[in-house]
């Protein structure tokens, strides 16, 4: 089905296969999921795109299940779906913590994990979690399916390796060993885009700490902190780890915060992560 309102065209696929065919044959098309990001641009008059593909009714993309030991979260799973899922709560509690911090109830009911990933904002709350979970992004097109490691998905601010004819269909998360941790710092406790957002997975190891650390809002994309991770594995003290992290990130001043504030907060969050607070 196709509808046109005020120069905007909306295609309504009945299945995922239908959607992928439309992306191939009716380009250009912009996928539309919960529309919580897209609608902001539409409202501000900054949305350039005029032709949309409505994914919202494709319930096959909303499934959350374990396949061959890997947690598979459909791209259309909303934050509410994540919060309510016993599988996500059990396997990836840090993702539930992140979902609880997104917007308010309305956004949690409409906003999807696929939309958060595809939108490719450096401030997306689920992104540090997916980075430390060593998640995989499942991309589908009419030509087939490919899997991309989440940590290789972004190529720059709001840019990724996703092609225009591809949909994100799922995020795959392998079992995670270690303590999971998530923290977001914004202007206020709720309804705020992050100034700094960090996720970590920490386990004691011989001679040091086995840590995976990812930070959002301190670079054009969400980033892992490999030098800090390596320092902790070698047995670095908290102070050394903080210094390494400060060397490793290069946040900027922008409308939400200053580079200096972000650096201090990132170091303080690292202290909390390692200290288990």
Ligand X SMILES: Cc1cc2nc3c(=O)[nH]c(=O)nc-3n(C[C@H](O)[C@H](O)[C@H](O)COP(=O)(O)OP(=O)(O)OC[C@H]3O[C@@H](n4cnc5c(N)ncnc54)[C@H](O)[C@@H]3O)c2cc1C
Query: Restricting to residues 229-268, which ones interact with ligand X according to CB under 6 A?
Result: none
Based on CB atoms, which residue is closest to ligand X, 56 or 261?
56
- Which of 144, 145, 135 lies closest to 113 in space, CA to CA? 135
Q: Does 116 bind ligand X (CB under 6 A)?
A: yes
Residue of 72, 92, 96, 115 interacting with ligand X (CB under 6 A): 115
Based on CB atoms, which residue is closest to ligand X, 75 or 198?
75
SS3 234: coil
Q: Which stretch binds ligand X (CB under 6 A): 87-95, 113-121, 236-244, 262-270?
A: 113-121
Q: Does 81 bind ligand X (CB under 6 A)?
A: no
Q: Which residue has the CB atom at the shortest distance from ligand X?
A: 115
- Cβ(195)–Cβ(174) below 8 Å: no
Q: Does 30 bind ligand X (CB under 6 A)?
A: yes
Q: What are phi and psi of 205, to 5 degrees?
A: -135, 165
Alpha helices by DSSP H, 219-258: 226-233, 238-248
Pairing of strands 159-160, 154-156: antiparallel
Q: Does 34 bind ligand X (CB under 6 A)?
A: yes
Q: Does 32 bind ligand X (CB under 6 A)?
A: yes
Based on CB atoms, which residue is closest to ligand X, 30 or 271?
30
**CA of 161: how far to CAs of 164, 223, 224, in Å?**
10, 16, 18
Q: Does 198 bind ligand X (CB under 6 A)?
A: no
Q: In Å, how far from its chain's centre is CA 104?
A: 17
- Cβ(150)–Cβ(171) below 8 Å: yes
Q: What are phi and psi of 228, to 5 degrees?
A: -65, -40
Residue of 13, 122, 124, 128 interacting with ligand X (CB under 6 A): 124
Q: Which stretch binds ligand X (CB under 6 A): 99-107, 129-137, 142-150, 222-230?
A: 99-107
Query: Restricting to residues 145-184, which ones interact with ligand X according to CB under 6 A?
Result: 167-168
Residue of 13, 19, 23, 36 interacting with ligand X (CB under 6 A): 36
Helix %, strand %, coil % of the chain (to 5): 35, 30, 35
Instruction: Return the residue matching tokens 């250009």.
Output: 28
> Where does residue 277 rank: exposed (0-12), middle (13-18), buried (19+ CB within 10 A)?
exposed
What's the min distance (Å) between Cβ of 119 and ligand X? 4
Instruction: Please give the residue ranges that form the binding site for ligand X (CB under 6 A).
Output: 30-38, 40, 55, 75, 102-103, 107, 110-112, 114-116, 118-119, 124-125, 167-168, 193
């Amino acid at each position: 089905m196709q509808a046109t309102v005020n120069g905007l065209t909306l295609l309504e696929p009945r299945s995922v296969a239908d959607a992928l065919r439309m992306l191939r044959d009716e380009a250009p098309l912009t996928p539309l999921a919960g529309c919580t990001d897209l609608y902001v641009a539409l409202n501000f008059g900054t949305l350039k795109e005029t032709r949309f593909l409505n994914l919202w009714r494709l319930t096959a993309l909303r499934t959350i299940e374990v396949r061959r030991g890997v947690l598979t979260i459909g791209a259309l799973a909303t934050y509410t779906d994540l919060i309510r899922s016993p599988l996500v709560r059990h396997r990836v509690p840090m993702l539930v913590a992140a979902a609880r911090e997104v917007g308010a109830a309305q956004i949690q009911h409409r906003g999807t994990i696929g939309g958060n990933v595809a939108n490719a904002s450096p401030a997306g709350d689920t992104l540090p979690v997916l980075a430390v979970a060593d998640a995989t992004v499942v991309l589908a097109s009419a030509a087939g399916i490919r899997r991309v490691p989440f940590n290789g998905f972004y190529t720059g601010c709001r840019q990724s390796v996703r092609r225009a004819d591809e949909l994100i269909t799922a995020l795959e998360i392998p079992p995670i060993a270690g303590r999971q941790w998530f923290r977001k710092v914004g202007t206020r406790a709720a309804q705020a885009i992050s100034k700094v957002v960090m996720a970590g997975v920490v386990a004691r190891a011989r001679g040091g700490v086995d840590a995976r650390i990812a930070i959002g809002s301190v670079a054009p994309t969400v980033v892992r902190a490999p030098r800090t991770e390596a320092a902790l594995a070698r047995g670095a003290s908290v102070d050394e780890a903080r210094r390494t992290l400060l060397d490793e990130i290069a946040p900027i001043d922008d409308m939400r915060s200053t580079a200096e504030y972000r650096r201090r907060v990132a170091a303080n969050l690292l202290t909390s992560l390692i200290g288990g607070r």
